[in-house]
Chains A and B, each alone.
Chain A
Amino acid sequence: MFSYVARRVVYAIPIILSVALVCFLLVHITPGDPLVAVLPADASQELAQQLRVAYGFDKPLPVQFGLWVWRALHGDLGSSIATGRPVLAEVLNAVRNTVMLAVFAAAIGFTLGLFFGLIAGYFRDTWVDKVATSIAIAGVSVPHYWLGMVLVIIFSVQLNWLPAVGAGSGGSAAWAWDWEHMKYLILPAVTTSVIPMGIVTRTVRALTGDILSQDFVEALRAKGLQEFKVFRHVIKNAAPTALAVMGLQLGYMLGGSILIETVFSWPGSGLLLNSAIFQRDLPLLQGTILVLALFFVFLNLLVDIAQASIDPRIKRA
């Protein structure tokens, strides 16, 4: 097991470096001068040059990359061109809100997905299966940002039960775990949960179906095992794959929150990314993407290790 973990960690290093390279290069495929956002329209040549040196844009690309990685390793992702604040602090602050949203959404999506998937797989080709698979396919096909709008229309505009946007009075800084604040989380979290719900349902349904058609289940039943105990075997066999899929989905929710956070003005990393793009705040754009991608790589690593620790077939591979 130790050697497996060590190997996975070592393999993650080149991936992390490549991810850093992609994030770094993003800025350089950007058309136009990266200084546009900070330079006044009538700035002199000297001022432009000064700023270029200050941001390090005058050095050759490999040197810039090396310096950028070196600083990133020391927790310095530069400062936002728009606000002047350190990028890392801004990103981490926003990521906290996104994690909150993603965890809440995962709780909803995974619970429903597991439930629908298990009953659909268990009662294959019955009406239960048809209903559950229909819900699942709707979940993976729905434009979630539109679903967010529709939920706002129903629960905020028409029924006036829940707030439409934001994170409550005082913004994210004044967040507290009370109803006054938590009601702001409900609509974004439900909206975020539909895709993972659909995918987990489809995965678990397929897994359950496959396992139930295997000979060992037949053998369990033949020896007179009660049906709920057979079911326990099914769950045990489906767990490693289901867990891997859920881990990946959590990663997608963290990294792909931009559309939903934009709809609900939720102060997370997605909204930060949105403003970085439209203010052409390149250090912030670069830093946000890097942090989110690293989160994703780290999560994948955790999923692999967790999967290996519960599935005896993987460790030996």
Chain B
Amino acid sequence: MTVITDTALQAAPVTKARGYWATVGRRISRDKVSMACAVILLLILLAAIFAPYLGLADPYQGSMIRRLRAIGTPNYPLGTDELGRDMLARLIYGGRLSLLIGILPVILAFIIGTSLGLVAGYVGGKLNTAIMRTIDVFYAFPSVLLAIAISGALGAGIVNSIVSLTIVFVPQITRVAESVTTGVRNMDYVEAARASGADTFTIMRVHMLGNVLGSIFVYATGLISVSMILAAGLSFLGLGTKPPEPEWGLMLNTLRTAIYVNPWVAALPGVMIFAVSICFNLLSDGMRSAMDIRN
């Protein structure tokens, strides 16, 4: 038999090709902004987790005689709050709750929304209509209003705030997951997989998940930014955690009255929220462009 070869490219060197995710990983590790954001986030996270071992002051121990010290006061590098507690300690300990209530809703919504979106997108038909029309109802509320309405109805508390934010994000992730899944489902390679006799589960596992999860993951990373702002916002309104717990949004609230005495100390917790939020946004952007390997 004669084999007709595509000669020009046949001569290409024998190379071990890199996998898709390896390529993406290499691209993102070369992106200075994304790497800087990842490092900052990691530092904040690690500091929050290992706060008790960092030799910090007691974040709950206040003192009436050293209230609202300025930034740079000896022993209190970031000053003290309205009850004389060390700001540095409270900001670092505050990361524990703030990151939890900011990130957990997105993780929960990612799991629920991705499942719903995958099913709606892959099965299609009536099930798709049922899921997506229900989702539309939640889209009829601005997300801040919905979060506050549910949180307000359920009452203040960490769990309620996580629940309400999860409810807000599930529709958004479902919509993205559904549209990505529908797009991938109509690709010829999924048709080809069906034509080879594979069952739905195998097609989902081998051909759908890898092509769908990346985009949803990037979207969810960007959502953490919104979630951090909203979660801290709920606490700021008094709908999240309760004093004396250190939490960035709540700290902003209790320090509001201090802006006339020591304004810059009062603004510090917001800097933390801002930093985490912008880092997640930049990281999401960086991942999105790293995943677009065709350019």
Which A residues fall within an 8 A CB radius of B?
A: 14-16, 18-19, 22-23, 26-27, 29-31, 137-138, 140-147, 149-150, 152-153, 157-158, 251-252, 254-256, 258-259, 262-263, 273-274, 276-278, 285, 289, 292-293, 296-297, 300
Contact = CB atoms under 8 A, between A and B. Distances in A.
Contacts of A292: 142, 145
Contacts of B138: 22
Given A137-B281, A158-B263, A255-B142, A18 B137 contact: yes
B136 interface: yes
Contacts of B150: 26, 29
Nearest to A289: B149
Contact of B142 (A141, A143, A157, A251): A251
B14 interface: no
B129 to A, nearest CB: 12
Contacts of A255: 141-142, 144-145
Interface in B241-273: 249, 252, 256, 259-260, 263-264, 266-267, 269-270, 273
Contacts of B263: 153, 157-158
B128 interface: no
A19 B141 contact: yes
19 contacts: A27-B153, A29-B154, A140-B281, A141-B277, A141-B280, A142-B277, A143-B232, A143-B252, A146-B270, A153-B266, A256-B144, A258-B145, A262-B237, A263-B256, A277-B239, A285-B152, A289-B145, A289-B149, A296-B140
Q: 4 closest pairs, A vs B, by CB?
A: A146-B270, A256-B144, A255-B142, A141-B278
Given A146-B267, A149-B259, A140 B142 contact: no
Contacts of A23: 149
Given A256-B144, A259-B237, A273-B148, A149 B267 contact: yes
Contacts of A300: 140
A84 to B, nearest CB: 21
Interface in B213-244: 225, 228-229, 232-233, 236-239
A14 B266 CA distance: 46
Most chain B CB inside 10 Å of its own CB: which residue of A153, A256, A274: A256
Nearest to B152: A277
Nearest to A154: B263
Contacts of A259: 144, 233, 236-237
Contact of B238 (A16, A146, A278): A278
B170 interface: no
Interface of B: 133, 136-138, 140-145, 148-150, 152-155, 225, 228-229, 232-233, 236-239, 249, 252, 256, 259-260, 263-264, 266-267, 269-270, 273-274, 277-278, 280-282, 285
Contacts of A277: 148, 152, 237, 239
Nearest to A249: B142
A53 B278 CA distance: 51
A117 to B, nearest CB: 15
A143 B141 contact: no
Contacts of B155: 30-31
Contacts, number: 135
Contacts of B145: 255-256, 258, 273, 289, 292-293, 296
B135 to A, nearest CB: 11
Contacts of A273: 145, 148, 152
Contact of A143 (B143, B264, B270, B280): B270
Contact of B259 (A22, A30, A140, A153): A153
Contacts of A152: 259
Given A149-B252, A149-B256, 6 more contacts: A18-B137, A29-B153, A143-B277, A149-B259, A273-B152, A278-B238
A282 to B, nearest CB: 8
Nearest to B155: A31
Given A22-B137, A26-B153, A255-B145, A143 B259 contact: no
Contacts of A252: 142-144
Contact of B270 (A15, A31, A150, A278): A150
B277 A258 contact: no
Contacts of A254: 142
Given A137-B285, A157-B260, A259-B237, A293 B141 contact: yes
Contacts of A146: 252, 267, 269-270, 273-274
A31 to B, nearest CB: 6
Given A30-B154, A145-B252, A137 B278 contact: yes
